[in-house]
Amino acid sequence: MRRAPEPPPKIGRPGITSLPNPNPRFNPTRSPGFETREAVAREDRLRAARLRWGATKLSGARARELNEVADAIDPDVTVSPTTVASSRYMRLQRIRIIGALWELVYGR
């Protein structure tokens, strides 16, 4: 069986996640279809619940791993998530990245 690739270190040169909050003119939350803060918190709760349910079907390290991911996502456990698996984290990054690209397309 092949080994999984080594996960990257969580530290390193700042990259795409180092972008600042966008200029209000280019803030994608102004778009009506963009996910709301409440919707992503609901989604994170759902994800955490489904992961914990998945963990009940497993045992040992695999169950522990799923519970760890659930904790990293769950709004009741982690206020400021830093994982791509979290809808709240992705909303924040999407606002910054989409905002920066939008500003790039339109110029200043």
Q: Which of residues 28-57 bind other proteins (CB under 8 A)?
A: 28, 31, 33-35, 47, 50-51, 54
What is the spatial distance between Cα 35 and Cα 50, in angstroms, rounded to a whole number?
Answer: 21
Q: In the complex, what is the shortest distance from the CB of residue 38 to other proteins, in angstroms, rounded to a whole number?
A: 14
Residue 101 binds to other proteins (criterion: CB under 8 A): yes
Output b/e per residue, 70-85; b: 16+ Cβ within 10 A: bebbbbeebeebeeee
Of 56-95, binders to other proteins (CB under 8 A) are 65-66, 69, 72-73, 83-85, 87, 90, 93-94
